[in-house]
């Protein structure tokens, strides 16, 4: 390779001198050639990158194309129904609702309906009238002294650190205007969460905001924040769908001085929160911890968030609640398809129970043990439309949270750069220059409109199913593709042999 490079270099230098002599281009061209040649020779001796050792200059094209591959995929290759985790059609729906513009779609569905994965609502011949009030749900079990009337649809946990300060402020202002709650995420409650919205304060294994010098739980610091007026509910994070069994990850690039100060950690280092809590080690201690937080917060709703893994552990936990006669006010069930700022791929792709079976399991377990009435179920996992809200309610949820839906409403383009501080839309970055692109006044309006228009769409679907309230919704309003096939079998068993009756 070095011999070839030597020959090519001599040839290029001669050509560039020729250019200088005949075209009077000066020495610019030769200077560029000399730089390229030097880079080329350096690459033949460096030992880190095999491609560059073998292709000292052309090898850079590989890195360039790799860098812009997601953009090429999204702009030139992706069709409206593909794109992962969210299709272009799904993202456009959120953008339109957030901008409060026409969100209808032309010409008919682009989905293939005659297949087993198709799902549809069984609408009524006599639809109900659409309720224009946005639905609310009261959260607070038997021991709660400050029940909270929550919106049916809210902002799921995303920390300041994972998201930019402008993103957090815009979410908070939008939530304040639309009267729904903003979950802080495990990064803690910061000044950017204090723009008037109701707050669900999340406490993860790092106990950020209520952390003692050893990194454990500090009851006094907790009580101080938990009793703030804006804090309406407290959520203990056991796990999240994208990385169950793995603690939170704050990449070093995003751990700025400001964030490190808020969290009480070393700046510019990757912060890995431990996978488990030090304040409790088993089901009994978790239930006791719930009771402890309830006392410290003067009776505010206390719940926990988890992605279901080993089902018997969840059953044991419920039995412990019954045994101690102490219940959480809510349980947030996150599907394994949930999002994250940063997670190891093994965890994102291969750990935890998906949304649908998890939600059915939690609901059925609480019903079977006779404790469903005492506990609200909040669900999250790709809930971004009226349809997905109704589906979650049908599977057993009382309320829904959305993380990535609200990110889209802030302008997220699914660039898949949340983990390297390079989010081009300023949503999931701590880079001040990129953050400037996100204008709080405009985006907070979008957050507000996305919430309002999505819940309105859910109300319209509810009415189409002939129902007057979400309490009437159950799994029977849905039908799957294979059920449609069975339906034709049961109504027309002989239809293949006797088509005309």
Ligand X SMILES: Cc1cc2nc3c(=O)[nH]c(=O)nc-3n(C[C@H](O)[C@H](O)[C@H](O)COP(=O)(O)O)c2cc1C
CB atoms under 10 Å from CB of 31, counted, come to 11
**Using rule CB under 6 A, residue 97 touches ligand X:** no
Residues from 432 through 461 that contact ligand X (CB under 6 A): none
What sections of 49-87 are H helices per DSSP? 50-54, 59-72
CB atoms under 10 Å from CB of 219, counted, come to 15
Who's near 342: CB < 8 A, 6+ residues apart? 162, 249, 250, 251, 418, 419
**Using rule CB under 6 A, residue 158 touches ligand X:** yes
* C-alpha distances in Å from residue 30, one per residue of 2, 8, 10, 25, 40: 20, 14, 11, 9, 15
Contact window for ligand X (CB under 6 A) among 213-221, 323-331, 332-340, 458-466? 332-340
**Using rule CB under 6 A, residue 155 touches ligand X:** no
Q: Considering beta carbons, is residue 348 or 394 the nearer one to ligand X?
A: 348
Contact window for ligand X (CB under 6 A) among 101-109, 157-165, 455-463, 479-487? 157-165
Residues from 227 through 256 that contact ligand X (CB under 6 A): 237, 240-241
Number of residues located near ligand X, criterion CB under 6 A: 27
Mode of pairing for the β-strands spanning 399-402 and 181-183: unpaired
Residues from 166 through 195 that contact ligand X (CB under 6 A): 185-186
Give the Cα-Cα-Cα angle 136, 120, 108 (nearest 5 degrees).
105
Q: Considering beta carbons, is residue 135 or 188 the nearer one to ligand X?
A: 188
Residues from 344 through 383 that contact ligand X (CB under 6 A): 380-383
**Using rule CB under 6 A, residue 151 touches ligand X:** no
Closest CA to 217 of 157, 296, 116: 296
Q: How far apart are CA 359 and CA 341, in angstroms?
A: 23
**Using rule CB under 6 A, residue 159 touches ligand X:** yes
Q: Considering beta carbons, is residue 382 or 451 the nearer one to ligand X?
A: 382
- By residue count, the chain amounts to 501
Phi, psi (rounded to 5 degrees) for 238: -90, -45
Q: How far apart are CA 501 and CA 122, in angstroms?
A: 26
**Using rule CB under 6 A, residue 385 touches ligand X:** no
The 3-state DSSP class for residue 174 equals helix
Q: Considering beta carbons, is residue 12 or 358 the nearer one to ligand X?
A: 358
Q: How far apart are CA 171 and CA 183, in angstroms?
A: 10
For the four alpha carbons of 240, 244, 246 and 250, in that order, the dihedral sign comes to negative
Q: How far apart are CA 412 and CA 438, in angstroms?
A: 10
Q: Considering beta carbons, is residue 16 or 402 the nearer one to ligand X?
A: 402
Q: How far apart are CA 154 and CA 163, in angstroms?
A: 17
Binds ligand X by CB under 6 A, chosen from 162, 365, 419, 430: 162
Structure tokens at 170: 């815009």
CB of 37 to ligand X, least distance (A): 44
CB of 55 to ligand X, least distance (A): 37
CB of 85 to ligand X, least distance (A): 8
Q: How far apart are CA 351 and CA 243, in angstroms?
A: 7
* Strand ranges, E, within 389-489: 399-402, 478-480
CB of 3 to ligand X, least distance (A): 50
Residues from 397 through 436 that contact ligand X (CB under 6 A): 402-405, 418, 428
CB atoms under 10 Å from CB of 50, counted, come to 9
Q: Considering beta carbons, is residue 156 or 255 the nearer one to ligand X?
A: 156
Q: Considering beta carbons, is residue 52 or 428 the nearer one to ligand X?
A: 428
**Using rule CB under 6 A, residue 303 touches ligand X:** no
Binding mask 63-92 for ligand X (x = CB under 6 A): ------------------------------
Contact window for ligand X (CB under 6 A) among 115-123, 126-134, 151-159, 367-375? 151-159
**Cis peptide bond prior to 85, omega within 30° of 0:** yes
CB of 210 to ligand X, least distance (A): 15
Q: Considering beta carbons, is residue 43 or 183 the nearer one to ligand X?
A: 183
**Using rule CB under 6 A, residue 143 touches ligand X:** no
Binds ligand X by CB under 6 A, chosen from 190, 297, 340, 454: 340
Binding site for ligand X (CB under 6 A): 156-159, 162, 185-186, 202, 237, 240-241, 305, 334, 338-341, 380-383, 402-405, 418, 428
């Amino acid at each position: 390779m070095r011999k070839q490079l030597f020959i090519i270099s001599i040839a290029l230098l001669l050509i560039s001198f020729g250019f200088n002599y005949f075209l009077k281009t000066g020495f610019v061209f030769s200077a560029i050639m000399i730089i390229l040649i030097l880079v080329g020779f350096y690459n033949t001796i460096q030992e880190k990158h095999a491609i560059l050792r073998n292709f000292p200059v052309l090898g850079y094209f590989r890195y360039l194309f790799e860098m812009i591959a997601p953009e090429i995929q999204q702009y030139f290759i992706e069709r409206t129904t593909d794109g992962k985790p969210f299709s272009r059609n799904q993202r456009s729906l959120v953008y339109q609702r957030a901008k409060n513009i026409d969100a209808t779609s032309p010409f008919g569905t682009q989905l293939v309906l005659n297949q087993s994965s198709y799902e549809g609502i069984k609408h009524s011949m006599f639809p109900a009238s659409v309720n224009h009030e946005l639905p609310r749900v009261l959260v607070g079990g038997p021991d709660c002294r400050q029940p909270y009337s929550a919106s049916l649809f809210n902002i799921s946990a995303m920390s300041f650190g994972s998201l930019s300060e402008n993103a957090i402020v815009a979410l908070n202002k939008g939530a304040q205007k639309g009267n729904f709650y903003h979950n802080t995420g495990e990064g803690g409650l910061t000044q950017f969460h204090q723009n008037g919205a109701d707050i669900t304060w999340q406490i993860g294994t790092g106990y950020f905001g209520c952390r003692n010098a050893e990194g454990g739980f500090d009851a006094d610091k907790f009580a101080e924040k938990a009793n703030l007026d804006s804090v309406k509910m407290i959520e203990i994070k056991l796990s999240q769908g994208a990385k169950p069994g793995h603690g939170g990850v704050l990449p070093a690039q995003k751990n700025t001085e400001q964030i490190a100060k808020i969290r009480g950690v070393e700046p510019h280092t990757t912060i890995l929160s431990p996978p488990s809590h030090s304040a409790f080690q088993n089901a009994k201690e978790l239930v006791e911890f719930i009771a402890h937080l309830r006392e410290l917060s003067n009776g505010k709703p206390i719940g926990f968030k988890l992605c279901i893994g080993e089902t018997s552990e969840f059953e044991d936990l419920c039995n412990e609640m019954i045994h101690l006669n102490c219940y959480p006010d809510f349980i947030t069930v996150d599907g394994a398809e949930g999002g994250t700022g940063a997670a190891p791929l093994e965890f994102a792709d291969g750990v935890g129970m998906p949304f649908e079976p998890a939600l059915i399991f939690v609901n059925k377990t609480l019903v079977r043990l006779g404790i469903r009435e005492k506990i609200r179920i909040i669900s999250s996992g790709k809930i971004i439309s009226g349809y997905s809200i109704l589906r979650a309610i049908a599977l057993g949820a009382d309320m829904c949270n959305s993380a990535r839906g609200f990110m889209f409403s802030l302008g997220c383009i699914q660039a898949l750069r949340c983990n390297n501080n390079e989010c081009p839309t300023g949503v999931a970055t701590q880079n001040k220059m990129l953050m400037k692109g996100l204008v709080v006044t405009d985006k907070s309006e979008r957050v507000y409109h996305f919430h309002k228009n999505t819940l309105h769409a859910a109300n319209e679907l509810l009415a189409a199913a002939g129902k007057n309230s979400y309490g009437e919704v159950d799994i029977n309003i849905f039908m799957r593709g294979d059920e449609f096939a069975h339906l034709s079998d049961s109504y027309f068993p002989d239809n293949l042999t006797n088509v005309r009756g």
